[in-house]
Amino acid sequence: MKKKTPIPYDFIVNELYELEPTIKRMFGTHSIYIGEKIYFALRESEKNAIDNGIWIATEKKHHQKLFQLFDSLRYFETIPMKKWILLPADVDDFEEIGMELCQMVKDNHPALGTIPTSKKKK
């Protein structure tokens, strides 16, 4: 039987609770969906720990704006990601920025969230 891992950074899930998020396990993360959009993936792993934190689902066209809003955001160092950006778990303002990102989700900010491409065509 597989061991169920706890959700890291559960303050994110708690903050988004009123939006009724769905949490799915995906690629070693806990992904946060609201409706059909994915907003975050929460990752805490010993493997490639430098890329632990809050993975932010966004489009490339929004990267610069998000980097301007939050100095602590960066691209991944060991995991090849094209659209996603990272709020590293080890930055001093991690929780504060995490809460601000949640507020942006609540405000339906266009820079956050993407609709995943379906692998199955019907």
Domain edges within the chain = 11-106
pLDDT exceeds cutoff 90 at 118: no
| pLDDT, position 121 | 45
Q: Could you read off the pLDDT of 70-85 as tens digits, one per residue?
A: 999 999 999 888 899 9
Average pLDDT, rounded, for the chain = 91
Q: Could you read off the pLDDT of 25-68 as tens digits, one per residue?
A: 987 899 999 999 999 999 999 988 999 999 999 999 999 999 99
pTM score of the predicted model: 0.91
Which of 78-81's residues contact partners 24+ apart within 8 Å by CB, and which partners? 78/48, 78/50, 78/51, 79/48, 79/51, 81/55
